[in-house]
Every structure is written in structure tokens, then in C-alpha cells.
Amino acid sequence: MKIASYNVNGVNGRLDVLLRWLKEAEPDVVCLQELKAPDAKFPVKAIEAAGYGAVWQGQKSWNGVAILARDQEPLLTRKGLPGDPDDSHSRYIEAVVDGIVLGGLYLPNGNPYPGTKFDYKLAWFRRLHEYAAELLKLEVPVVLAGDYNVMPTELDVYKPERWTNDALFRVEVREAYRELVSQGWTDALRELHPGERIYTFWDYFRNAYGRDAGLRLDHFLLSPSVAERLSKAEVDKHVRGWEHTSDHAPVWIELADGPVKQRKKR
DNA sequence: ATGACCTCCCGTGGAGGA
């Protein structure tokens, strides 16, 4: 089972790129972020024509998340993260596909630091902590996938010293990510590629992609019963080199039908 | 230190992104 996450940076402006990648990569499930479209403008017909069922939570201009499933309809279980009924941002959607609970999330950017946007980011992170702990207690297979807007460690930034006061790399945010993982989640890409430089985002400025000046922002957190099935975790980096592409590349994991036994202990 | 680039909006520049 192949599960992907892709911050498309505008689902309509990027529709051709998304469809091209879907055809090439053939993921079974996709979590999308930054739809930048209201519910009524989600391109459901084109996505269905490509062979995917979809659930989505749109928003005019900003944010927006969706879950796609190949040859089936995702079973919607939640729209919005609990903990703040006044939160109007579309940043969390959840569905069950093939017995796995998929939480698709788009964590706030939080810049500039310091300020109200940074405070909102930390508050959103705290709500995610609480809800993620509840999910773990259920002891069901869960994947929390999306754009976390955090580089977890210095290994995840092309030039860490330039980012110390950025909301994506502030110590408070890295600590929040570390605490979340320590609840019992497995960071899938890091699990299979310890010590390796992996980026999922390259900004549009200064030929960042050409210089490989990237950031690792898009993460998969796996509950224990999913983590033992993890067989691959990769970034479709070449997609970032396409015309009219997003500033993020698609990221994906592959799950075996049962436990993968030969994983080295770390 | 700044800006560079790209998206969306009823726009003809501004805001937000990272």
C-alpha cells in the first residue's frame, strides 16, 4: 500500500502537475495540502476521472486539505482538529482507507516570529499533541501525514544557521515536533534514512532547487502497528523540477501487508 | 539586511507563503 503526501500549492493552478504525478506514481492514498480553493472549486471531476475518490475541506484563497483514495471513496471521519471551535482554518481532515486512519494535516507556517501567527502555530501544535495522544490510545493503525512546517533537526535544513529565528525552525517548534514523536510515533522517512539529507521543499527563490537548498517539512508519523509494516519511504524529488510545479515535492511511504522483520535496530 | 518567486483574489497590487 502506497500512501503519499503532497503540498500542491493551489490544487487548480497545479491540476495538470497533480494529474501527471498521480498517473506516474499511482499512489493508493494521497493527502493533499494547500488546496487554496473553496469547497465548491475543488476539482473533483478531474480527480474522479483519474480514478480517485476524494474527501476535502476547502477554504477560499488559503489552506485546504484533501484525502484521495484510488478506486474507492475514503470514509470521512473528521474535518478540523478538535480543541478550538473558533479555528476557521482548513488544516485537518481524516478518513479511513483499507483499515488505516489517515490524518491529513497542514500545520500553520507561524512566521513572522515572534507574533500572533507564531502563537497560533504553537497552539495548533498543542491541539495536535492532545488529539494524537487520543489516537494512539485507540491502538488502531494511524498515519498522520502532511506539511508540518517544521524542520525537525539540523540535518533537515540546507543551512541551519540561517533559520534559527524562523518559525519553521525555532527551538519551541522543533521541541513540539520532538515531543509529538515521543508519544510513540515513528517518523517514517527518518526511520528508513537515518543520517541522510532529505528535503521535501525548495523555495522558488534563488534557484533553490538547482542548488539543492531545501528543507524537510513534509512528514509521515506512523502509529506502532503501521510502523512495523513500513517498507519504503521516499521523496519524488524530480516532480519539483517540472514546469509550473509546487514548491513542495510529493512524499510517499510503502506499507507491506504484514510486519517487516529485517529492519535494523537503531 | 533585503529580496528574489508563486499563488490567490474581482485583483490591476496586496497578502500569504517558507
Q: Which nucleotides of B are covered by protein (CB under 7 A)?
A: 3-9, 16-18
Q: In whole angstroms, give the CA distance from residue A128 to residue A192.
A: 24
Question: Is strand B less than 7 A from the beta carbon of A61?
Answer: yes
CB A27 within 8 A of CB A3: yes
- Which residues make beta-bridge pairs with A16? none
Which of A94-108, A223-237, A249-263 comes out lowest in average pLDDT? Answer: A249-263
pLDDT in tens, A190-223: 999 999 999 999 999 989 999 999 999 999 999 9
* Residue located via cell numbers 518559525: A167
Strands A100-106 and A142-147: parallel
pLDDT in tens, A28-41: 999 999 999 999 99
Q: What are the residue ranges spanned by the domains of chain A?
A: 2-255
Question: Is strand B less than 7 A from the beta carbon of A157?
Answer: no
- Show the cell assigned to A92: 485537518
How far, in Å, is the CA of A154 from the C1' of nucleotide B4?
A: 24
- Check residue A212 and give left, alpha or beta (phi > 0: left; psi -120 to 50: alpha): left
Mean pLDDT of A224-240: 97
Which CATH number is associated with domain A2-255? 3.60.10.10
Question: Is strand B less than 7 A from the beta carbon of A37?
Answer: yes
Among residues A63, A72, A21, the alpha carbon closest in space to that of A42 is found at: A63
Question: Is strand B less than 7 A from the beta carbon of A105?
Answer: no
Q: How far is CA A7 from CA A14, A39, A108, A171, in A?
A: 10, 17, 13, 24
Q: In whole angstroms, give the CA distance from residue A179 to residue A244.
A: 36
Q: In whole angstroms, give the CA distance from residue A224 to residue A216.
A: 23
Closest alpha carbon to C1' of B8, residue: A61
- The model carries a pTM of 0.96
Q: What pLDDT sits at residue A264?
A: 60
